[in-house]
Structure 1
Amino acid sequence: MQRKEAVRPILVKEQEMERRHHVRRRMCKRAALEFNGGSIDCTLKDLSTTGAAVRVISPVGIPEIVTLRIFSEERVVKVRVVWRRSDLLGLLFVAAC
């Protein structure tokens, strides 16, 4: 009777999986996306020197260019939405406001 060898998962270094050029800090901070004279609440999930990821209740109706307000840092930044996945948005910093 032949014995089957266990299949081992291939481990990939976290650095090899990361495709971003800048390191992002994970966090959970209160923020808002402002556009068209109004705003919607969001949660800042991670932040780098060039962009951020935020969680929103619904991305429907959010335009490509918005203003990100990070309340705890009193920071306001003009951003471009570069990707959308379900309730997450990837933001690229365009300019400080």
Structure 2
Amino acid sequence: MVETRVAPRHRVMKPAKIEYGGMKTPCTIRDISVTGAALEISELTGIVPAAFNLILPEEKLKLPCHVVWRREFRIGVAFD
């Protein structure tokens, strides 16, 4: 399989939160790069909007991003 990503991804298991409309939904970052990440959530991905802020409490970061793909309990995002 040929790798087509712009930046290499690093496998991690970091707690994070998806923030939108005053709500915060917990998630886990499964892999991350400088351009995006794969997130795992415990709720169905249909409730996550197309654009939101990803909060990484350990790093004290708040990153705007948008969804590029969806699976049942996973979403891929690109950082804006």
The TM-score with structure 1 as length reference comes to 0.77
Deviations 1:21-62 (A, max 9, x none): 210111000000000111100001111011111001121221
> Quick one: which of 79, 83, 86 aligns to 2:69?
83
Counterpart for residue 14 of structure 2: 29
Counterpart for residue 42 of structure 1: 27
Moved over 3 A (4+): none
Q: Look at both structures and tell me which one has the larger radius of gyration over its CA atoms.
A: 1
Matches within 5 A, 1:48-63: 48-57=33-42, 58-63=44-49
The TM-score with structure 2 as length reference comes to 0.92
